[in-house]
Amino acid sequence: MIIHYRESGPRKWTSGEKRSQLLIDPVVQIPEYAKKEPKKQRRLFHVALTATDALYSRWQCRIMYYWYKKKKDLPGSDMGKFTRILHSGNPDSLMDEIPTFVVDPLPAGLDRGYVVLNRPWAFVQWLEKSTTEEEYILMAEPDHIFIKPLPNLGLEGYPSAFPFFYIKPTENVKILRKFFPKEMGPVTSIDPIGNSPVIIKKDLLEKIAPTWMNVSLKMKNDPETDNTFGWVLEMYAYAVASALHGVQHILRKDFMLQPPFDLETGNKFILHFTYGCDYNLKGELTYGKIGEWRFDKRSYLDGPPPRNLSLPPPGVPESVVTLVKMVNEATANIPNWDTT
């Protein structure tokens, strides 16, 4: 069974300008005109993350929601309301704790074991069936922790996104041309991003999401693409779908940090704990080898981490220490933590 979702045709450049007319900062790619604009009224964004009903997903969502509530109303925040988009098809035990919208998963077998393929389909359904007050949306994930109040990093016509070092369009030209033909422009039009974290206007995401879903399915059904992109396939699909609609993102390196490779929280807004953190007792990273001290979310596939995790040994980077302290604070204050 193949789903092909009806979508609009390719769009022109979102700001109404030609690419050659834009002056782009080489580091964060913020249009020069935007740097000179005075600060306007708050532009609230709705925080939306996709999730399953698995224990592994649920405990991460609880920590994520705890820190959202802690940061939402602080000075500098443009964070609006929150929705967990649950794509398991049925309500779960967190319905009363976290604002949740239930959507259907893909038909059985269509994701071929790649659960993340449900993410674009979940957003398509949510955008069609739900109503949100905010004009913008932050696409987030369960393993995100807000370490600072998050302002709206997007601009009119320019969504904001975090650039991932492993999303490399220019090194995958042959494959990407299957989905982004030459007449659409150079492969450099494809941003080095995934769908999360991204802050984007809702009406723009409504146009991109069906294309994102269709491209994801086509990529998964192409053996060469599937083998090459692996677990980041859906990220490439979002980047391609955006480019097909003529959308360029402002690349914000300060959007997020990823321990253990980012050593300090610094001026970052979101902490992404996707990587395992393994250290010996001297505080030396042993990545790829289980450390004498470790924190890895995959150690807790079948249930939540215990309260009061041990702190890292001396010498471990501040980012990792912050991660464990924030997990510990959340688990200490979330009721019935052990029954996630």
pLDDT at 35: 55
State the pLDDT confidence band at 163, using cuts at 50, 70 and 90. Answer: very high
* Average of per-residue pLDDT across 222-232: 97
Please tell me whether the peptide bond between 197 and the residue prior to it is cis, using omega within 30 degrees of 0: yes
pLDDT exceeds 70 at position 49: yes
**Percent of the chain with pLDDT strictly greater than 70:** 88
* Average of per-residue pLDDT across 8-33: 39
Asked which of 107-116, 140-149, 204-213 is least confident by mean pLDDT, the reply is 107-116
* Average of per-residue pLDDT across 8-36: 40
pLDDT at 237: 98
**Among 258, 281, 255, which Cα is nearest to 268's?**
255
Mean pLDDT value across the chain: 90
Model-level pTM? 0.89
**Is there a contact between 44 and 79 (Cβ–Cβ < 8 Å)?**
yes
State the pLDDT confidence band at 13, using cuts at 50, 70 and 90. Answer: very low
pLDDT exceeds 90 at position 340: no
State the pLDDT confidence band at 21, using cuts at 50, 70 and 90. Answer: very low
pLDDT at 17: 33
- Residues 253 and 213: their CA atoms lie apart, in Å, by 26
State the pLDDT confidence band at 16, using cuts at 50, 70 and 90. Answer: very low
State the pLDDT confidence band at 50, using cuts at 50, 70 and 90. Answer: very high
* Average of per-residue pLDDT across 77-93: 97
* Average of per-residue pLDDT across 126-132: 96
* Average of per-residue pLDDT across 48-70: 97
- Could you tell me the CA-to-CA distances from 59 to 272, 273, 302 in Å, in that order? 15, 13, 10
pLDDT at 32: 57
pLDDT exceeds 90 at position 77: yes
pLDDT exceeds 50 at position 1: no
- Residues 196 and 212: their CA atoms lie apart, in Å, by 13
pLDDT at 9: 41
pLDDT at 39: 55
Tokens matching residue 181: 């033909």
Residue 161, beta-bridge partner list: 198, 251
pLDDT at 156: 78
* Amino acid code (one letter) for 46: H
**Is there a contact between 49 and 140 (Cβ–Cβ < 8 Å)?**
yes
- Residues 334 and 66: their CA atoms lie apart, in Å, by 8
* Average of per-residue pLDDT across 18-23: 32
**Among 170, 163, 143, 158, which Cα is nearest to 67's?**
143
* Average of per-residue pLDDT across 260-283: 97
**Among 328, 70, 210, 125, which Cα is nearest to 320's?**
328
Quote the DSSP letter at residue 128.
H
pLDDT exceeds 50 at position 3: no
- Residues 180 and 186: their CA atoms lie apart, in Å, by 9
State the pLDDT confidence band at 67, using cuts at 50, 70 and 90. Answer: very high
pLDDT at 297: 98
